[in-house]
Amino acid sequence: MVLTADQIDYNEQTHQAEARGNVHFSHPGRKEDIYASSFKYNLDTEIGTFFNVRGTVASAGQAGPRLLTTTEPFYFEGEVAHKMRDRYVVFQCQVTNCKRPGPWWTLSSPHTTVVPGRYALMRRSVFRLKKVPLFYAPAYYKSLERAPRSSGFLTPNIGNSSRRGRVLGETFFWAPSRSYDMTLGGTYFSQRGFAHQITGRGRPTPGSFFDAFWYNMNDRGIGAGESRRRQGGRLFNLNGGAQLPWGFRGVASVNYLSSLEFRLAFTETLNEAIFSEAHSVGYVTRSFSSFFLNAALVRHENFQTTQKDDTIVIRKLPSIELASREHPLWRGRLPLYLTLDSSLELLGRRQPGFETRRLAERLDLFPRLSTRLQWKGFHLTPVFGWRETYYGEQLRPDGTVSGENLRRSAREVSLELAPPPLGRVFRGPRLLGDRVKHVIEPRLSYRYVAGLPDFRRILRFDERDLLTNTNEVEISLVQRLYGKRIETGEVRELMSLEIWQRRYLDPRFGGALVEGDRNVFASTIGLTPFAFADSARSYSPVVTVLRLQPRYNYALEWRNDYDPQRGKVVNSGLTVDANTANFNVSIGHYAVRSLRLLTPPSNQMRAMIRYGSINKRGWNLGFSTVYDYRQAIMQYANSHVTYNTDCCGFSLEWRRFALGSTRNENQFRLALSIANVGSFGNLKKQEKMF
């Protein structure tokens, strides 16, 4: 440490030093830099007193992806400061990390304790914004560590909603150790009732973790009398993983939702509100050589509507899988590979008007042999497979479940021919690169599946049950455009155009297809995620995917399915993204124009425009929306404005939800962000656009 002043008296016997006039005390190792009018200090006991003190104490960087940061240290000043070894006690103290003079914010306290590198504790503190007092805290604690862990109350949540009324909430954060923490909070909505939430996180060992969240809403309902509509409910999420003995690893993801209407009415983001599924899985896995073994407990729940119990629940209790990637059996001139997919499961399915036995057996064994032939750049891959499946139950013609066993035996042959790609190099425009290469990749495949019984007798739980007799040919063509910079050697894909279609030599899929019904088979979902088979057909839709990326920060993707049988594009998805240093645009349009029997029609646009970033000084603006053309309504809108100074930021956000009769709500949210400290207000940092 270094001490300088106009005058310094030092007693060698008592080790007492007294300094007067322009006193400067610094400790470079601790990043302490303090000025005072006078100073008394004992170099032996490291106890001293500053008068009319001011200085800086560095805080360890605590920057995060959603935290406003600054390189300015914490500046403090006070009438008297007592230094006691590793800490300072400052009276009539004022703290800020803004540039001076005229700081944007200050935090003042009659009694402050500062332990450099550890924490600062202020009692009876008052926060002022431009000298205007905003709030009072009996005690305010700020960690100065790089990874702080301290228990305490978080800033209150205060706001207003057109549908929930006035909002008041508080949360307590409890960190019993470095490896565990928990938050317990409650929120009161004046028009709806009380909600509470609990979150917990833990890292018990270096190879394990868990994160849990519980939310419960006791809703008084909307409306009056018998028409009062209660939309409360509960949700629970748990994610965890651990390294187990003997090379096994366990993973769990548990999701519970009491009702879809509750999620639509009370969640805070559109993506979460419209997600109509709750998937839970817990499994252990181990891989050895090219094989892997999985044992899982699975529960999938799909909410069909907001009506109570209108759900489809599929259970696997348990599911045991033994599978392998291509495993070489022979490495000669004609190599031979084995691929295995097998499972033993106890399954159950429940939905309105239909239910299987609580646990029905299913044993599936699917080995495949393949080889590879090459000749002058042509690659031919034959695959021969045999599939045996045993079911403990089956469907009767009237749609009820029978306890009779069912055996399904399938034989599969497939051939894939990949001719050599065609390519040519051109001199390209400077915008794309010094050289541009055009590549054409054709591909032809044939697949034949036979030996299956009546498809309508099969109980359907997942994709394993969608196999049908199939005789089909698939033709695909991929064109790619690459750009190369000779100076750096960088090669980038500028454009790709993929087109593929299937020709069905068996238009009725071995009798599995039902006229006038929505048919979903393994062959159809392997081509496109949109259902298209409602009648016998010889051709599938033509699937096209176009991707453009002339520069690394500009991209376009257009995917569409053209159905020649209907003579129109039945679905389309277009996304455009552009990014610069401070400007981001993302626009998407999605449309489904198929029969309502196959897929409900839709025509929606989403857009997000954003200028700025979390740490950009000055104005930052953002807007996002989802507009439904069929209903002519804006289902969701979010407008965000942030102004950042050198040490703090002010945010205002307006949200609009229009989700049918379930939710029609406007929200206004505010937040004040203090650099290197955190946010205050009802706009949570994880919900901000910046």
Q: What are 72-77's contacts with CB under 8 Å, separation 24+?
A: 72/97, 72/98, 72/99, 72/646, 72/647, 72/675, 73/31, 73/97, 74/120, 74/144, 75/100, 75/103, 76/112, 76/114, 77/53
- Rg of the chain's alpha carbons, rounded to an integer? 33
Strands 648-659 and 152-153: unpaired
| Exposed e or buried b per residue across 521-549, where buried means at least 16 C-beta atoms within 10 angstroms of its C-beta | bebbeebbebbbbbeebeebbbbbebbbb
Give the separation between CA 97 and CA 71, rounded to whole angstroms: 9
Q: Please give the Cα distance from 627 to 635 (Å, whole number).
A: 6
For residue 76, CA distances in Å to 61, 87, 103, 113, 408 come to 18, 14, 12, 11, 78
Which string of DSSP letters, residue by residue, matches 195-231?
A: EEEEEEEE--STTEEEEEEEEEEEE--BSSGGG-B--
Residue pair 671/158 in contact (Cβ under 8 Å)? The answer is no
Looking at residue 241, what is its pLDDT? 96
- pLDDT at residue 553 above 70? yes
The CATH code for residues 2-143 is 2.60.450.10
pLDDT the model gives residue 65? 60
**Tens digits of per-residue pLDDT, 489-509?**
889 999 999 999 999 999 999
Which of 99, 148, 88 is CA-nearest to residue 121?
A: 88
Residues 513 and 493 sit within 8 Å (Cβ to Cβ): no
* DSSP string for residues in 501-570: EEEESSTTGGGT--TTS-B--HHHHTT-SS--BSS--SBPPEEEEEEEEEETTEEEEEEEEEETTTTEEE
What pLDDT is attached to residue 486?
86
Average pLDDT over residues 564-592: 95
Token code pair at residue 206: 């270096």
Indicate the pairing of strand 678-681 with strand 663-674. antiparallel
C-alpha 23, offset from chain centre = 53
The residue-averaged pLDDT of 375-402 equals 93
Residue 634's pLDDT is what?
92
- With cut-offs at 50, 70 and 90, classify the pLDDT of residue 316: very high
Interatomic CA distance for residues 203 and 212, integer angstroms: 12
Token pair listed for 455: 């498809």
Q: For the segment 60-82, what is each residue's pLDDT rounded down to a tens digit? A: 555 556 678 887 888 889 999 99
**pLDDT value for 59:** 58
Question: pLDDT of 422-440, one tens digit each?
Answer: 999 998 788 888 899 999 9
- Residue 63: what pLDDT? 52
Mean pLDDT rounded to a whole number for the chain: 90
pLDDT at 60: 53
Q: In 10 A of CB 44, how many CB atoms? A: 8
- The pLDDT assigned to 139 comes to 87
The whole-angstrom separation of Cα 475 and Cα 419 is 12
pLDDT of residue 75: 87
What is the helix (H) or strand (E) element at residue 265, kind and residue range?
A: helix 260-266
Residue 256 has pLDDT above 80, yes or no: yes
Residue 61: the pLDDT is 53
pLDDT tens per residue, range 580-630: 989 999 999 999 998 989 988 999 999 999 999 888 999 999 999 999 999
Q: Hey, which residues does 556 pair with through a beta bridge?
A: 548, 576
DSSP bridge pairs for 437 = 425, 482
Q: Tell me if 459 sits within 8 A of 391, measured CB to CB.
A: yes
What CA–CA distance (Å, rounded) separates 120 from 109?
Answer: 12
d(CA 383, CA 417): 12
Side-chain-side CA neighbours of residue 30 (13 Å): 20
Integer Cα distance of 537 and 531 in angstroms: 13
Residues whose CB is less than 8 angstroms from the CB of residue 156 and which lie 6 or more positions away in sequence, other chains included? 168, 169, 170
At residue 568, the pLDDT reads 94
Side chain identity at 16, as an amino acid letter? Q
- Model confidence at 99, in pLDDT bands (50, 70, 90)? confident
Angle at 659 between CA 657 and CA 660, to 5 degrees: 135
3-state secondary structure of 272: helix
Query: Token match 């004022």: residue?
Result: 94
Residue 312 has pLDDT above 90, yes or no: yes
The model's pTM is: 0.82
Q: Which segment of 158-172, 275-289, 594-608, 631-645 scores lowest on mean pLDDT?
A: 158-172
Span 634-639, average pLDDT: 93
| pLDDT recorded at residue 58 | 64
**Token pair of 476 as six digits:** 């695909």
Percent of the chain with pLDDT over 90: 61
Query: Mean pLDDT over residues 645-670, rounded?
Result: 88
Q: What percent of the chain has pLDDT over 70?
A: 98
- pLDDT, position 146: 67
The predicted pLDDT at position 255 comes to: 96
Per-residue pLDDT, 479: 96
Tokens found for residue 339: 């691929």
pLDDT tens digits, 165-184: 888 888 999 999 889 999 99
Using pLDDT thresholds of 50, 70 and 90, give the confidence band for residue 337.
very high
The pLDDT value recorded for residue 55 is 86
Given a cut of 80, whether residue 143 has pLDDT beyond it is no
Greater confidence (305 vs 154) lies with 305
